[in-house]
Structure formats: structure tokens, C-alpha cells
Amino acid sequence: MTEIIHHRQANPKKRLLRLWQNREAVQALVSRQFKARFEKPIIGLIWMLIQPLALAGLFAVFFGALVRVPSGDIPYPAFVFVGVALWQGVQRALSESASVFDSSAPLLRQTSLPRLAPVLANIAGAAIDVVIALFVAIFIGWLFGVKIGMQILVTPVFLILALFTATGLSAALGGLCGAWRDLRQMVPLGLQILMFASPIIYPSSLIPEKFQYWYAINPFAGILDGLRWTLLNGSTPDPIALSISAASSLVCLSVGTWIFFRLEGRAADAL
């Protein structure tokens, strides 16, 4: 007897169309994330800001005051808070997406909801945190005398690139960790490596000039340089390095979603 093996195809176009057709269900998941986060607005806002403020404060003391990491014309507390604010949201989205098939198992078993929907809901919840925290970053900059210019109008471009990057990484992690559960043990280490490989507590200008364009392959390099430029009147990013980071962000989104669509069937079988 000939054994028949069925190969799952990623078929992104078909899956994205299905996701669009179920957009109301996705919106409901996002709304649930928002309500859970801000059921009591004042308490929710305080808890959301305590962690990045505390972490940025520690970094400001140890790396700003003691180690004296340079931050250009930007006061180090405001400089590091932008990095921490973005990273806290990205870290939350990636950590939650790594276990999305387990945390959303009842929902995925009982409904025909596209499996990428819970990942998108996680990202939307994290995006809300980031946007609110960046407003606090502007306030911190103002306290230190930073004057905002017209470049603040370009901020949405860098937020969209951050969204693309986080979506790609979250989708890839969701698919990989869903298909092979043991990979989740490596996620905390991977997040730590990515954090120190990104200009969160140090400026990208510390990277030797001959490696600058290679470093820009990390999408967060261009994104953070751009956010500090628009929100804190920092140095204008190098256009070539910024273009490399933007292209890398789009590649991350495309490859990450393809990995998810390729592995979601295997991950669902393991539920």
C-alpha cells in the first residue's frame, strides 16, 4: 500500500483573506485585551507605567550616572526611557505569542477563528502600552528641556515599522513554539540577546562605523534612532542605515507570517 503524505502549504494569500473576513472577531479580541488592561483606567495606567519607569530609572543611574553612556544631545533618562518603553511592549508581545497556542487553546478548538488572530490581539495590546509610554517619554524629555520639532509628525512611520517587526517576530515565535514546545525554554534568553543587540541603553553611534550598515539589519536600530529623532529632537538618522532597517522590518513581517502559516497546522495538531 502506498502511503499518502499530505504536505501543508503556507498559502499566505488565502489565510490573509480569511483573516480579513473574520476581522470583526479579531476586533473583539483586541477590545477584550483593552478592557482587561484598563478595566480600572487609573490603576491600569499606573501598573502599565511602573515597570518601564522603574527599569529606565535603574538604567539611568547605572549606565547614565555611573558608567556615563553617551546619549548625544538627549538627556540620558529620556533617551533610555524611549528604548525601554518600546522594548517592554515588544517583549510582552513576543512572550505572549510564544505560548499563544496553549493560552488560546479553548478558543482555537471551539471556533473557526484564524489562528493568527490571538497573535494580532497580543500585539495590539502591547501597542497600546507603547503609545501611551511614548507620550510619557515626551513629557520626560520636556522636563529636561528637550524642545520638540516638526519631525514629531514622522513618528507614526517608525511606530508602523515597529509594528511590522513585532508582528513578524511574534508570528514566527508563535508558529515555531507551537510546533515545537521545547523552544519556549529559549525565548527568555533570545529576548535578552535581542535587547542588548538593540540600541536601547546605548546609542547606535557606539557601533564602529564600518559595522554601522550591518548593525542596521536589526530593525530596532533604525526604529529607535528614528523615535529619538522625532520625539526627543535627537540626531537625524543616517538615511542608508534607516532604509536598511526599514527593509529588514518588511522582510521580518513577510518571513514571520509565512513561518506561522507554514507551521500553524502542526501547532494546532499538538493542542
* Residue with more model confidence, 41 or 75: 75
Mean pLDDT of the chain: 84
Taking the model in full, what pTM does it have?
0.86
The residue ranking higher by pLDDT, 62 or 266, is 62
pLDDT of residue 242: 95
Q: Which three cell numbers stand for residue 214?
A: 550591518
* CB atoms inside a 10 Å sphere around CB 146: 20
Give the residue carrying C-alpha cell 510564544.
98
pLDDT in tens, 130-160: 988 898 899 999 998 888 889 999 999 999 9
Instruction: Provide the greatest CA pair distance for the chain.
Output: 78
Q: Whole-angstrom distance between the N-terminal and C-terminal Cα of the chain? A: 30
Q: Which of 59-63, 140-144, 240-244, 267-271 has the lowest mean pLDDT?
A: 267-271
Q: Is 240 exposed, middle or buried (0-12, 13-18, 19+ CB in 10 A)?
A: exposed
- pLDDT of res. 2: 41
* 127 has pLDDT over 80: yes
Q: Does the pLDDT of residue 23 top 80, yes or no? A: no
Query: Residue 268 pLDDT more than 70?
Result: no
Q: Which residues contact 27 (CB under 8 A, 6 or more apart)?
A: none
Across 208-220, average pLDDT: 94
**What pLDDT score was predicted for residue 255?**
95
